[in-house]
Amino acid sequence: MESPQIIDSNQANIEIPLTLKNINVLSGLVKWSKIVGMFHIVLGIIYCLSIFLFMIPTVVIGVFFIILGTRLTNASANLRYSIQDPNEETIILALENLKKYLFFNGIMFIVMFLFVLIILTVILVFGVALFDILREATNPYVSIMTWVS
């Protein structure tokens, strides 16, 4: 198998013509990244406001969601600008924001996966202990008074 050639960054160019199909793809990406970004921001605000019920971890999750939402809405705006006035800078900014969104999203998935593992471990440990407690409570026992007579 042939290894890919390394190209100097000054020589590398990707040119994508703005055909009707490409504009439709970019427009769909603009629309959905803005919608999902707004949902992330709203969800982050809700998480941050729930500090009174669930304490500090929800604020951390809320800040993560707000960061995700702002990155995605920034990418959406830059993609919209690149459709209206195609230049390299706006598309690169959009791709950088998408990269940051995916990076933070990946971190959040890893952290959430670790939380789920910790919660499952705690449930397993305390679940076994709870079954032991219930089993001991239901075992028949004999009172000392029954032996006296």
pLDDT digits (tens, 9 = 90+) for 29-64: 889 899 999 999 998 888 888 777 667 777 888 888
Query: Who contacts 79 (Cβ-Cβ below 8 Å, separation ≥6)?
Result: 26, 29, 30, 33, 90, 91, 94
What is the spatial distance between Cα 80 and Cα 94, in angstroms, rounded to a whole number? 9
Mean pLDDT taken over the chain: 80
What is the spatial distance between Cα 2 and Cα 16, in angstroms, rounded to a whole number? 26
Residue in 64, 76, 82, 74 with CA at minimum distance from that of residue 33: 76
Amino acid at 10: N
C-alpha 148: how far from its chain's center?
Answer: 67
User: If pLDDT is split at 50, 70 and 90, which confidence band does 128 have?
Assistant: confident
